[in-house]
A and B are shown apart, each in its own frame.
Chain A
Amino acid sequence: MFAYVIRRLLLVLPVAFGVSIICFLLVHIAPGDPLTAIMAVDATAEEQAAMRAAYGLDRPLPVQFLFWLGNLFQGDLGNSIATGRPVAGEVWRAVQNSLLLAVTASLIAFPIGLLLGFLAGYFRDSWLDKLVTSIAIAGVSVPNYWLGMVLVIIFAVKLAWLPAMGAGPAGSDGWTFDWLHIRHLILPAITLAVVPIGIVARTVRALVGDIFHMDFVMALYAKGMSNFDVLIHVIRNAAATALSVIGLQMGALLGGSILIETVFNWPGSGMLLSNAIFQRDLPLLQGTILVLAMFFVTANLVVDILQAAIDPRIKRS
C-alpha cells in the first residue's frame, strides 16, 4: 500500500508539469496581445517595447517558462494586469471562498445523494425508487443557475428570509462563522448541491441495485446471514465506486461554478475566472486555472489512493 501511494505520487509529477506548461502557454496561444489591455491606445512602439521588457515578454518562450516556474515555486503567480495586485493573493482568497461553498454543498449533497441512491437501489422498482429517480433526473437536468434565480426570487425577494447575494453583510469578503455570514451561504450551497445529489443518487442506485442482484448476495443468505449482515456486505461492495463518484463531484465543486457564483455574486474562483476572462487579465486567468487544475489533480490522487485502500480488487503492487 505504501509503495502504491509513493508510485501514485510520483505519477502526479509529470501531470502537474504538463498542466503548468499548458497554463503557461495559454497566455501565448490566446489571440491578441495581453499588453493591449493595459496600454493606452495611442502608445508608441517604444512604449510598448518597454512594457514588453518590463513583463519579460521579449525573452524566448522556454526562458520565460523557467522564470515563471521559478516564481511559481516561490508562490509568485505574477501580478494582475487589471488591479496590479499579486495574483497569488487574489486566487487564494477566491479559492477559500469557493472551498467554503464547495464543502458546504458537499455536506448537503453527498449524504442526501448516498441515502436516496441507496434507498432507491434497495427498494428497486418501488414508488420510492421512482420518486428518487425523478428527483435525480430533475436535479441533473434543471439548469442550476436558473434554479438559483428561482430560489433567490422565493427566499430572498418574496419571503426575504435570506440574502440574495454576496458572501457576507455589506459585500464583505472576509469570512467568519456567524449567522450573518452563514445566511449568505445557504442559497448558493443548496443550489450547488442539486447536481451532485442527482448524479450521486443515480449512480449509487444503479450500483446498489446491481450488487443486490449478484450471486454472492444469495450465497450470503444461503449461509444464514441476516438482512442487516447482507446490507453491510452490499455497502462495502459499493463503497469504492461510490467514493470515486463522490471524489469526481467533489473535484467539480472545488473548481467553483462560474454560473452560480455569478448568480449569487459569490467572490469565489468561478467569479474570479469570469472576471479574468472579461478583463483579458491573462496573469490572473493563468494563475486561477493553474490552481484549479492542481485541485483536480489532487482530488483525483486522493480518490485513487482511498479507493485502493478500501477495494482489494484494485491492484496495489
Chain B
Amino acid sequence: MTALLEFDRLNVTFKGERTVYAINDLSLKLEQGEMLVLLGESGSGKSVTLKTLLRLLPPARTQISGGIKVNGTDIMTLSGRSLQDYRGGDVSMVFQEPALALDPVYRIGDQISEAVRRKKRVSREEARNVALDMLRRVRIPSPERRMMNFPHELSGGMRQRVMIALALACRPRLLLADEPTTALDATVQIQILLLLRELQKEFGMGVIFVTHDIGVAVEISDRIAVMYAGQIIEEGSTHEVINDAHHPYTRGLLAANLHDVERGERLEAIPGVPPSLEEKPKACSFAPRCPNAMPECRDKLPPVIEIGARRRVACFLAQQAVAAE
C-alpha cells in the first residue's frame, strides 16, 4: 500500500525584507490511518509544514523544494481544478481559531455545503443533507437549527465542531489539525480531542495533529515527530518517544512537562530561546541550549540516525551510541 504522505527533504524559505528558512530538510512518512502529532515550540515550523501540504503559502514569496507525495501523487504538480479538488478533498485542515477560520457572514450550513457542492458536484439539496449529517456526526445538538446559525452565534467549542464537520464533509484521507484545541477551555479541549479520536477511527483517515502541548500529544497520538527550528529532530511511536527519548531536546521537554502530566503546560521550561531562522542551519540548531553539546555539534549538521524501525533521531549523541554498539 502506498504511504499516505511522504515529505522528502522538504525546504521552505520565505523571501521578503528578510529571508526566513522556515523548514529545513524535513522528511516524514505517514501510513494510512495513522495519527501523528507534530510537537514543537511556537515558531518551530509546524503551521508552515501543514500549509505547505495544502499549498496555502503565498507562491510569490515562498520557495519550496523537495518532494511532497500524498497517496503517491506529487502535489506540487497540481494546479487549477485538480488543486481545488485536492484541497478539502484528499487533505483538509482544521484551524487553530475557529472563530477566525469561519466566514462571519455566511450561515454554518452554507459554509459546509458549498465545500461539498464544489467537490462532489451534487445538488444543493444533497449538499445540505451531507452538511446536516456531518453536524450530527460531530455531535452538535439540534443540527437543523444550527445550520441556519452564523458563526458568532455559537460557542467556541461548537464552532470548532463545525470546523471539523466542514473539514470531514468530503471524507479526506488525511486531516490536518493545527492546534485545534489551543483556543478552547480545558473541558471543551478534552471533548474535542475525544471527538477527533473517534472520528479518526470511524473514517479511518490519517491525522497530523499539531500541538505544543505534550500532554495532548500523549493523549491522542500513535506516533510523535518532534520539531525544532524547521526540522524533525526525533520521531517514533508515542510509546518510544515518551519512554525512551534520545534527543536532548525531547528529553528536556519531557523532563519539564511529563513528571506531572499537566495538560496545558507550555514547552517553555528549557532555558534559552529557539534560533532565529534567518540563516540556513549549518550545525545543530539546538546546540546553544543543549546540555550535552560537543564541539562538533557547532560545526556540522547532526546526522539523522535510524535507531529502530521508523524511529529516527538527529543528534551526534545518537550517532555515538550506535557506533558504540
Contacts and interface: CB of A to CB of B under 8 A. Distances in A.
B56 interface: yes
B109 interface: no
Interface string A228-241: 01000100110010
Contacts of A229: 114, 118
B89 interface: yes
Given A219-B93, A219-B95, A313-B150, A224 B88 contact: yes
Contacts of A312: 104-105, 107, 150, 152
Contacts of A236: 105-106
Contacts of A218: 51, 56, 95, 101
B135 interface: no
Interface in A217-274: 218-226, 229, 233, 236-237, 240
Interface in A275-317: 311-313
A222 to B, nearest CB: 5
A216 B87 contact: no
Interface residues of A, number: 20
B115 A225 contact: yes
Q: Would you list the 3 A-B pairs with minimal beta carbon distance, nearest first?
A: A224-B88, A223-B88, A215-B100
Contact of B95 (A215, A237, A240): A215
Interface of A: 214-216, 218-226, 229, 233, 236-237, 240, 311-313
Contacts of A226: 84, 118
Contacts of A313: 104-105, 150, 152
A222 B100 contact: no
B89 to A, nearest CB: 6
B235 to A, nearest CB: 25
A311 B151 CA distance: 12
Interface string B53-87: 01010000000000000000000000000001111
Given A221-B87, A222-B93, 8 more contacts: A215-B100, A219-B95, A222-B54, A223-B118, A223-B167, A226-B118, A237-B105, A312-B150
16 contacts: A214-B100, A215-B97, A218-B56, A219-B101, A219-B103, A221-B87, A222-B88, A222-B93, A223-B92, A223-B115, A223-B167, A224-B84, A224-B89, A226-B84, A312-B105, A313-B150
B166 interface: yes
Contacts of A221: 54, 56, 87
B100 A237 contact: no
Contacts of B289: none
B298 interface: no
Contacts of B92: 222-223
A225 B105 contact: no
A231 to B, nearest CB: 13
Contacts of B95: 215, 218-219, 222
A222 B86 CA distance: 9
A236 to B, nearest CB: 5
B102 A224 contact: no
B101 A224 contact: no
B150 A224 contact: no
Nearest to B118: A224
Contacts of B101: 215-216, 218-219
Contacts of A224: 84-89, 115, 118-119, 170
Nearest to A233: B103
Contact of A216 (B100, B114, B115): B100
B170 to A, nearest CB: 8
Interface string B99-127: 01111111100000011001100000000
A223 B100 contact: no
A226 B54 CA distance: 14
B179 to A, nearest CB: 13
A224 B116 CA distance: 10
Nearest to A219: B101
Nearest to A226: B84
A220 B93 contact: no
Interface in B220-235: none
A218 to B, nearest CB: 6
A218 B105 CA distance: 16
B118 A225 contact: yes
Contacts of B118: 223-226, 229
Nearest to B149: A312
Nearest to B166: A223
Nearest to A215: B100
| Residue among A219, A225, A240, A311 with the highest chain B CB neighbour number at 10 A | A219
